[in-house]
Structure 1
């Protein structure tokens, strides 16, 4: 067994930009795409060399529109990749042509270093060195083998307790301190990979979030070695460890003395080729088995992206946070989805995919968050609504629809709308305030929220209202149906054997209506 790094994991805000940088610009191979092992609805991508060698891997969890993280002590601050020293000219030119800012080259520990920033602001260093035992470079478009990234060179860890941190990494990771320059102690492994431990005393602590490095994983030979570390750590009084079978490797997580999250991961077995042939590695989305989730319930919730040269969704800046989910064989129709209280732009995508299997789905996120969860407009109590906010958000929704139609070439006559609870209420309000905007809609568990109602001509609107027979707001759903019908809308009111919650019957009835 050769000690060294196994992988480094960070968090990205926008997955397409992340793929474009790590695959398109750096030329790494996407070697695995999965749902997250802690949260299946969180996309997790691994990049590496041509054969997904341990020690070549960086991975990213997608927190789309998540809160930004903060670099500080108790976490890593930089990711370093090894390139051949003679490749520096190529990378300087490539960065200039790609519009990516650079810092350097500069000499660090006798090695030339070029600093870049990825789309989330994470510092990425290209280090000219022959010291790393390299893997098999991926033959990326526009990058010759001699210029390609060789392997992970290492990471920089910020610590307020550098002596304790270096001791921990030496005992449990096989890294050896070799040199100190200023505030940085360099540790090296048998693979030639390094960890630079920077004294960050007095600096602020790290905070998790997008644009932050979550953890650094070190290599151990096998499962027995990982299990042995549990006992070894316990002998040091460290019992707070989490052991996991990640399918592609077995590992434990532990906090080093300065608070940094360290993973100890196995270097044996088939790795990422266990469920995917090497020649097509990284092309199939896998959902971790332990969630026991149906694929159709989770895949629509994961953000989509395209590899370099593949079609991709170019997101436009529109009034709401939103998510688009496309099928491989779209039929030209669109279904726009508005969640209930506490949901987000992905919440109704699985429902939408069952209702309209071939439609392009667009899920919106409500912008009112005064209650700590996303809603489409403010309320003062269970049935007390902010009338000014309803009107403002209905106007914003109308602007979103108009701009989305133009930006994505949507066929207005082939666009339907579905809202649940609070989202259904905004849809109904938008129909009243902007007649003609929404012609075909499914409203699940809605209530009337506008006061007073405008005198609106809703002729030409076709609406299905699904009321829960046990819903305490059932009578209000009926009142809304009567009011919309009185204004000329064609309204179909159906009772579903449910309360206010969604049910399987809602899916069947909505699908039949929209067919």
Structure 2
């Protein structure tokens, strides 16, 4: 069955150890996969998510030890949000204070409680309180109680000059529907339980964003399988005049990439084969996993990568 939603979000970070500490110990996410950037194997690629690594729960990072700061701006994702039980917003506010995390005051968006904060690299994040969800599976990553655990992505906010053109891709290609408007903010919803929200903010005349530490590299949307992905590729070309890259095998999903009309890099990623293809669910994230074409270079790669403990 096709679920319309976000598959994952990929961002850029600074020191690898600091990144792992924040997302596993402060936020309680599971390190679902520890691998390398296939195009730059001297750099880790970390995947964080829920306990089973479901599509829609995944935030990934390329951590470069000396990454220069990025800048949010037009043509870039502005914020990545996670789902938590509504009643846990107070808990999270106190936790962020205790951990010394830069954060804002709780606010309301489209009737939901939202707590904004930043990771050590300045990545803009938020926790969104969802009334209809209760306690999730107990996290294995630290001391966060079951009734406050992050249960996946809520969605992303995109900053573009022309929201309508970007919105047309979401609705026609990815199966989202416009759900609400609030000033310059337009909300689109997919039918996926996690990763089902995209907010688009129109902002003309702002400086463009640029990549660096704390910025989002791309947003990936779900395709059930290769056939569903191919249909999306055809629709992009036929209805929008946009062509994707060739399909690339990322071991845990297969991907194509393109720039949407606002300039943001979008990916279409298959749900299959999933993160348990090379290790069991219980062992996810434990060992360094390399794609077959890099396995013969394991010794050299492991010697290059920074220590995590």
TM-score under structure 1 normalisation?
0.57
Q: How far has the Cα of 1:13 moved from its partner?
A: 0.9
* Contact 2:47–2:58 under 8 Å retained in 1: yes
User: Which among 263, 268, 284 is matched to residue 264 of structure 1?
Assistant: 268
Q: Any stretches of 5+ residues in structure 1 without a counterpart?
A: 306-311, 313-515
- Matched with 1:225 is 228
The alignment status of 1:210 with 2:213, answered yes or no, reads yes
* Residue aligning to 1:125: 126
Tell me, in whole angstroms, the C-alpha distance in 2 between the residues paired with 1:160 and 1:226. Answer: 27
Q: Distance in 1 between matches of 2:84 and 2:250?
A: 29
Displacement of 1:16 in angstroms is 1.5
Question: What's the secondary structure of 1:158's corresponding residue?
Answer: strand
Task: Give the match for residue 155 of structure 2.
Answer: 154
What value does the CA root-mean-square deviation take over the aligned residues? 1.7
**Separation (CA, whole Å) in 1 of partners of 2:135 and 2:182:** 26
Equivalent pair of 1:80/1:126 in contact (CA under 8 Å) = yes
Give structure 2 stretches of 5+ with no counterpart. none
8 Å Cα contact 1:133-1:191 kept in structure 2 = no
Of 270, 276, 280, the match for 2:279:
276
SS at 1:93 equivalent: helix
Superposition pairs of residues 451-490 of structure 1, within 5 angstroms: none
Q: Would the alpha carbon gap of residues 205 and 242 (structure 1) be closer, same or farther in structure 2, given more than 3 Å must change?
A: farther
3-state SS of paired residue (2:171): helix
Of the structure 1 ranges 183-192 and 283-292, higher mean CA displacement relative to structure 2 is found in: 283-292
> Between Structure 1 and Structure 2, whose CA radius of gyration is higher?
1
Q: Is the 8 A contact 1:180 1:186 kept in 2?
A: yes
**1:104 aligns to what SS in structure 2?**
coil
Q: Answer whether contact 2:134 2:147 (CA < 8 A) is retained.
A: no
What's 1:49 paired with? 50
Q: 2:30 maps to which residue?
A: 29
What is the Cα deviation at residue 26 of structure 1? Answer: 0.5
5 Å matches for 1:128-143? 128-130=129-131, 136=137, 138-143=139-144
Higher relative contact order (CA 8 A, sep 6+): 2
Whether contact under 8 Å (1:9, 1:59) holds in the other structure is yes
Q: 1:174 to 1:259 in 2, by over 3 A?
A: same
Residue 173 of structure 2: SS of its match in structure 1? helix
Q: Distance in 2 between matches of 1:231 and 1:292?
A: 34
Name 2:204's counterpart in structure 1: 201
CA contact (8 A) 2:159 2:203 kept: yes
Determine helix, strand or coil for the equivalent of 1:294. Answer: helix
In structure 1, what is the Cα distance between the partners aligned to 2:122 and 2:208?
A: 18
Partner Cα distance (1:222, 1:133) in 2:
30
Instruction: Determine the structure 2 residue equivalent to 1:428.
Output: none
CA separation of 1:251 and 1:109: change in aligned 2, threshold 3 A = same
Q: Indicate whether 1:191 and 2:192 are aligned.
A: yes
Aligned counterpart, 2:241? 237
Deviations 1:193-237 (A, max 9, x none): 211101121111111111110111111110111122222222232
The alignment of Structure 1 onto Structure 2 pairs a total of residues equal to 305
**How far off its partner does 1:106 sit?**
0.5
Match of 1:81 in 2: 82
User: What is the CA distance between 1:251 and its match in structure 2?
Assistant: 1.5
1:28–1:140 CA contact under 8 A, matched in 2: yes
1:49-448 residue pairs with structure 2 within 5 A?
49-130=50-131, 136=137, 138-192=139-193, 193-235=196-238, 236-269=240-273, 271-291=274-294, 293-305=296-308, 312=309
* CA shift for structure 1 position 274: 0.7
Counterpart-to-counterpart distance in 2, 1:130 and 1:151? 15
> 1:290: Cα distance to partner?
2.9
Q: Is the 8 A contact 1:29 1:47 kept in 2?
A: yes
CA shift, 1:292, in A, is 5.8
Alpha carbons 1:52, 1:272 under 8 Å: kept: yes
Give 1:107 shift. Answer: 0.5
Q: 1:170 to 1:131 in 2, by over 3 A?
A: farther
**C-alpha displacement of 1:277:** 1.3
TM-score by length of 2: 0.94
Matched position secondary structure for 1:284: coil
Shift of 1:293: 4.1
Q: Which has the higher strand share?
A: 2
